[in-house]
Structure 1
Amino acid sequence: MNKPRAQTTDAYIEGFAGQARELLEELRALVRETVPEATEAIKWGHPAWVHPSGTILFVISGHAKHVNFAFTPSTREAFDVDLSDIATGKGTVKLPYGSPVPADLLRRMIVYRVREHEDDGVLWM
């Protein structure tokens, strides 16, 4: 049986327990603190934060052993050196449950992503 898709970020996070829920809540708080003007939406079944212009800024997704924090590939690439000890994908940062969250790094990436959209016109993938 497939798990029903959440219609809100609250419902999405409530679908997880333990370390997964804690990490999702921590990331949500970090985003809210860093980009309070962004609105939450569900995109492709996952929480996303949307710029007032309507452009998606980033998306988080919970998995069995980690959360993916998805930025644009250009944002992720701008932090290659800082991310050398962290598993990454094309535009994602993999955050394992039970590991310290690199909050300062994520905050800098969030600010960079907002700037690349506002100043350089970089849209979502």
Structure 2
Amino acid sequence: MAKTNYQTIDEYHSTFTGDVLKRMQRIRELVHKVAPEAKEVISYQIPAFKIDDKYYLIYYCAFKNHLTLSSPWSEAILKKFEADLKGMKVSKSAIQFPHNMELPLDLIERILRFRKTEI
């Protein structure tokens, strides 16, 4: 049974292997590139990043068939990136990236930059 009381992102990542782990690590690296001041935390037992210890920039987590990127973002993000998100499973606060598709790092970086301006 997987550990369910993670204290760090490294602990969360340690329960994954292969491409899923690499994909999560790429998101982590992008966050540090875009927001080097962001602090790594675990929130709701998944990786998250906070700015100024009070604003959540982004969360991510892995599932069997996809990665989910989520945040308390505004509808402005969904409208701004509507064309880029076509064909993806999207909700008010989450975007799913299936494991069988290339991770759209450019899009994720643009979302992170936009989210940072919202904060």
TM-score, length-scaled by structure 2: 0.88
Residue 73 of structure 1: how far off its partner (Å): 4.1
Report the Cα distance in structure 1 between the residues aligned to 2:67 and 2:23, rounded to whole angstroms.
Answer: 8
Give the deviation of 1:53 after TM superposition: 5.1
Instruction: Tell me if structure 2 keeps the 8 A contact 1:76–1:92.
Output: no
Gap runs ≥5 in structure 1: 118-125
Name the count of aligned residue pairs. Answer: 117
Give the structure 1 partner of residue 34 of structure 2: 34
- Deviations along 1:17-76, one digit per CA (max 9) or x if unpaired, are 122111111111111111111111000000001012511111001111111000314223
**Structure 1 counterpart of 2:86, from 84, 88, 91:** 84
Would you say the 8 A contact 2:49–2:56 is kept in 1?
yes
1:63 to 1:34, Cα distance in 2 relative to 1, 3 A: same
Which structure 2 residue ranges, 5 or more long, are not aligned? none
**1:2–1:14 CA distance, 2 compared to 1 (3 A):** closer
2:66/2:97 contact within 8 Å kept: yes
Q: Return the alpha-carbon distance in structure 1 between the equivalents of residues 74 and 63 of structure 2.
A: 20
Q: Report if aligned partners of 2:2, 2:15 keep a CA contact under 8 Å in 1.
A: no
Q: CA deviation at 1:4?
A: 2.7
From the superposition, tell whether residues 9 and 31 of structure 1 become closer, same or farther in structure 2 (CA, over 3 Å).
same
Deviation of 1:3 after TM superposition, in Å, equals 3.3
| More divergent stretch after superposition (107-116 vs 18-27) | 18-27
Does structure 1 residue 93 correspond to structure 2 residue 107?
Answer: no
For the structure 1 residues 32 and 115, does the alpha-carbon distance in structure 2 shift closer, same or farther, using more than 3 Å as the test? same
2:47 pairs with 1:63: no
Q: In the alignment, what sits opposite 2:11?
A: 11
Query: What fraction of aligned residue pairs are identical, expressed as a percent?
Result: 26
Letter in 2 for 1:46: I
Partner of 1:116: 118
Task: Specify the SS of the correspondent of 1:4.
Answer: coil
Please tell me the root mean square deviation across aligned C-alpha atoms, in Å.
1.6
The aligned counterpart of 1:104 is: 106
